[in-house]
Amino acid sequence: MGVHDMRAPPPIFVACALLVATGVPPAARAGDPFLIRNDQPVGRLYGVPVGVDADPAAAPGFGLRVGLDVANGSIETSAGPAELTLDGETWVLRFAGRHVWKNGWRVMAGVPVVSHQGGGTDSFIEEYHDAMGLPDGNRKRRPADRLEYRYRRNDETMFSQTDSTTGLGDVFLAVAAPLVRDRAGTRALDAVAGVELPTGDSDRLLGSGSWDFSLGLAAADFATLAKWNLELHGGAGVLALTEGDVLADFQEPVAVYGDLAVGWRLASWLVPRVQIDFHSPFFAGTGQGPLDDWAVELVCGATVLLPGRFALDLAVAEDVAVHTAPDVVFHVGLKRSL
């Protein structure tokens, strides 16, 4: 199925688009895109790589990142024999590390801790949607602070999570090989291979139960739009999935993914960024668009450069393709080069 029900750009994202349309005197480099991916409680189960972006100016050594996503969604739909409810809040705490060698090769690891719970920010989300001019669906008609992740088909419950739960998610490992580097350290193209291990409990929707293998390209270009002090990151690839434990009868064996990020060097300490992430469906034939359609998420925020080689990320994400990602995600991240 194709992408549909695309939302009109809300004011916050129009403002972000304007931010990257002009330039100011050069400042610090924008650094890595946000450490975030689709945190829909079912869509997040499979191994779309995160934190594998190319960096032509990366110095040899270690780097550490931690990111926290608070993802809130409220979906309740039925079509034919299928009923889907994704009403609740998922918190994902991601720890990511990498090591870069002098020849540009990188190894990366990501460890997520996942928590499903009632929508503690429901009332705040409603106020946020009202302030930003975003549609609220039927949020205000549903009970607040509810956790109900459930899919039923022909009166059979195929997954259900209604009790708060916290645990280890699926661990991700990757290696990147440099394909192209320019001498100025402004352009890079890497090949990235990764695997996501089934370390999360699929019965509690903490993991997929699938081994997910990824192969893709990651690119960075700090030169083409340097006149406007803009830096580009992007990537795309393919996922090969073994059979998982969640909706296995409907799972696709292959998916594709991609992302594009634009960072603007507004000041020596402030880097606004717009980022879009997408992936093809992990399922087919469920009769539910949030599972069967392409997922597209738009992220807008900024990186604040701090003393001691620290950087703070603050961002908000919205589901551009409605219901294929959480209604809203609040992201905060901290990174440091060692």
One digit per residue, pLDDT tens: the chain, 338 residues?
A: 444 444 444 444 444 444 444 333 333 455 689 999 999 999 999 999 999 999 898 889 999 999 999 999 989 999 999 999 999 999 999 999 999 999 999 999 999 999 999 877 767 766 766 676 665 556 556 667 889 999 999 999 999 999 999 999 999 999 999 999 998 889 999 999 999 999 999 999 999 999 999 999 999 999 999 999 999 999 999 999 999 999 999 999 999 999 999 999 999 899 999 999 999 999 999 999 999 999 999 999 999 999 988 999 999 999 999 999 999 999 999 998 76
- Sketch out the chain's domains with CATH numbers: 11-337 (2.40.160.40)
pTM of the model as a whole: 0.87
Dihedral (CA of 98, 101, 235, 198) sign:
negative
